[in-house]
């Protein structure tokens, strides 16, 4: 458990940071806080927190106005998932401590196969007296449904991902509470891969319903691995079993872990003074369906908002009108916005309140030295070097178990390339975009409020240099256009791909007197949600 530093501890921390130098020291502190904030965000899972209603959200620009905030509903009681089906347990033919992996995945759930179980019933039928008696045979067929096939396994785990360089893997686990760990599902799982050599950070979200083999236990959803490890005394406890499950089924190693719940998240955001968040798509901030007499749905319209802690918590946790995959994308987006805000030197002024806010809100096996070692990375990392990856619909298959559980079967041939992409070096095109540093203007040629700011936020995370945003001369442009004043080939190619601009809508008008190299004019065809 990380605790608030006592005065002697604080002095030792200060000495470490002074040895790093003033600039690196500030960045190291920012990284320490970022890791804590980063992990606190992972707590966006489970049931509703029993907090006060969300305060009004104030957009950075007045145009988008969210609906009135709702009142929290009662928090339901957590219950443990059922154990692995008996039919599955019977299939285990090796010692339970072996590390196993599914190798065969069913393509479809077969319909029940009639298997005649003939039972002959001899009935004597009285007839007039005579020399013979004719028996009547009655055959009653019965249906015996075949069980839904369970993925088989092999004693050989999925190969561990190969990589070179100084790489750190941190497992971020979000639970409803860090109390009673033996009954808490881990509904948010993110693996953070930090490559100090290539100055990259990759985030991989893993869906809670992924159907995996859990060592010493059997087949189940991945979100039960942590609580099983905790209550069975597995080496390393809950984090140890979840880490081994990830390595066996996905080929991802784990070096360190952070375990958090939602209680400290809102406090951290408030201690930062809130976070400016660009919302690209409408988001329903309610957790549950409304009933007669309860408050209305709360839909956050696209725009730029300054979110307080309670609102931010709802934003990263809600699944209303979406899926776990949509929620994972919002979590990554919020993490990036937090990182962008906390990397400034001004964070040093907020250290006292942040340390107080973080007290007792998470547990980790990381040391201060582990985090301080990341300081050089903080000096050089660029937005485009922070990657978001998700195990989603393209890497899984919907499946229903024999017990009626709706789960996601992993597709190893699709997952392995995704995992490999966590370690891929920056492409030559990415480096060239950074070298070109093309100055880009974004103009809103529609009547949709703040569309230029929304697009600019997205483009910046691709490493593009957006110098300003504003309205276009006319608000009724049908198709997005790109006007090139100064040749910047890689930036142009990236813009056209991200914004889906047709070749005929790219115009070259050389003009060295323009304040920008490229101007983007957004039309009605631009959809930031795609």
pLDDT by 10s per residue, the chain, length 530? 333 333 444 444 444 444 434 444 334 444 444 554 444 444 333 333 333 334 344 444 433 333 333 333 333 333 333 333 333 333 333 333 333 344 344 444 444 444 444 444 444 444 444 444 444 444 444 443 333 444 445 446 788 888 888 899 999 998 876 778 888 898 889 999 999 888 899 999 999 999 999 999 999 999 999 999 999 999 999 999 999 999 999 999 999 998 887 776 777 788 788 999 999 999 988 766 656 555 567 889 999 999 998 899 889 888 776 777 788 888 888 888 888 877 765 665 665 666 666 666 678 888 767 776 776 676 678 888 888 999 999 999 999 999 999 999 999 999 999 999 999 988 888 888 888 899 999 999 999 999 999 999 999 999 999 999 999 998 999 999 999 999 999 999 999 999 999 999 999 999 989 999 999 999 999 999 87
Give the per-residue pLDDT at 354: 65
Q: Where are the alpha helices (DSSP H) in 386-441?
A: 412-421, 428-436
153 contacts 101 by C-beta, under 8 angstroms: yes
Between CA 318 and CA 48 the distance in angstroms is 9
Q: Residue 276 has which token pair?
A: 């400016």
Task: Tell me the three state secondary structure of residue 319.
Answer: coil
Give the per-residue pLDDT at 203: 93
213 contacts 219 by C-beta, under 8 angstroms: yes
Give the per-residue pLDDT at 175: 81
Measured at the CA of 478, the angle between CA 476 and CA 484, to 5 degrees, comes to 100
Q: Is 165 left (phi over 0), alpha (psi -120 to 50) or beta?
A: left
Give the per-residue pLDDT at 323: 75
Give the per-residue pLDDT at 138: 46
Give the per-residue pLDDT at 189: 93
CA proximity to 342, closest of 354, 329, 327, 328:
354
Tokens 């339901």 map to which residue?
76
Q: Name the strand (E) or helix (H) holding 506.
A: strand 506-508
Between CA 283 and CA 118 the distance in angstroms is 59
């Amino acid at each position: 458990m990380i605790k608030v530093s006592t005065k002697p501890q604080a002095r030792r921390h200060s000495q470490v940071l002074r040895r790093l130098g003033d600039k690196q020291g500030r960045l190291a502190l920012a990284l320490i806080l970022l890791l804590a904030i980063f992990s606190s965000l992972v707590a966006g899972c489970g049931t509703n927190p029993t907090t006060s209603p969300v305060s009004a959200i104030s957009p950075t620009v007045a145009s988008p106005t969210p609906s009135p905030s709702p009142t929290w509903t009662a928090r339901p009681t957590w219950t443990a998932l059922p154990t692995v089906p008996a039919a599955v347990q019977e299939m285990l033919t090796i010692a339970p401590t072996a590390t196993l992996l599914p190798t065969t995945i069913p393509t479809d759930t077969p319909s029940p196969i009639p298997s005649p179980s003939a039972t002959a019933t001899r009935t004597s039928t009285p007839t007039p007296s005579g020399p013979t008696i004719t028996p009547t045979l009655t055959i009653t067929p019965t249906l015996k449904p075949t069980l839904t096939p369970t993925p088989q396994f092999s004693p050989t785990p999925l190969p561990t991902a190969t990589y070179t360089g100084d790489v750190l893997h941190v497992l971020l686990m979000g639970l409803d509470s860090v109390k009673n760990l033996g009954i808490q599902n881990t509904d948010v799982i993110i693996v953070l891969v930090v490559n100090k050599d290539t100055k990259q950070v990759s985030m991989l979200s893993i869906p809670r319903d992924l159907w995996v083999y859990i060592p010493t236990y059997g087949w189940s959803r991945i979100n039960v691995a942590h609580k099983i490890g905790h209550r069975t005394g597995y080496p390393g406890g809950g984090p140890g079993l979840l880490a081994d499950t990830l390595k066996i089924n996905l080929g991802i190693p784990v070096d360190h872990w952070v375990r958090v719940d939602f209680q400290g998240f809102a406090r951290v955001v408030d201690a930062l003074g809130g976070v400016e968040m660009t919302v690209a798509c409408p988001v329903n901030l309610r957790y549950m369906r409304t009933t007669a007499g309860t408050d209305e749905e709360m839909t956050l319209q696209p725009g730029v908002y300054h979110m307080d802690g309670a609102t931010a918590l709802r934003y990263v946790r809600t699944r209303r009108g979406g899926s776990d995959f949509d929620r994972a994308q919002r979590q990554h987006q919020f993490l990036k916005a937090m990182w962008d805000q906390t990397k400034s030197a001004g964070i040093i002024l907020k250290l006292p309140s942040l340390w107080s806010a973080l007290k007792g809100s998470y547990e980790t096996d990381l040391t201060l030295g582990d985090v301080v070692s990341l300081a050089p990375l903080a000096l050089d990392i660029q937005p485009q070097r922070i990657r978001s990856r998700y195990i989603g619909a393209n890497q899984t298959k919907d499946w229903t178990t024999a017990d009626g559980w709706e789960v996601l079967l992993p597709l190893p041939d699709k997952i392995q390339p995704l995992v490999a992409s966590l370690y891929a070096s920056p492409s030559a095109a990415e480096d060239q975009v950074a070298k070109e540093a093309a100055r880009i203007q974004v103009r809103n040629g529609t009547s949709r409020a703040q569309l230029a700011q929304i697009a600019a936020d997205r483009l910046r995370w691709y490493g593009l240099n957006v110098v300003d945003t504003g309205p276009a001369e006319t608000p009724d442009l049908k198709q997005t256009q790109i006007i090139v004043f100064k040749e910047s080939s890689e930036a142009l190619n990236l813009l056209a791909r991200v914004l889906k601009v047709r070749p005929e809508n790219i115009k070259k008008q050389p003009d060295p007197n323009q304040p920008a190299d490229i101007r983007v004019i957004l039309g009605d065809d631009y959809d930031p949600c795609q």
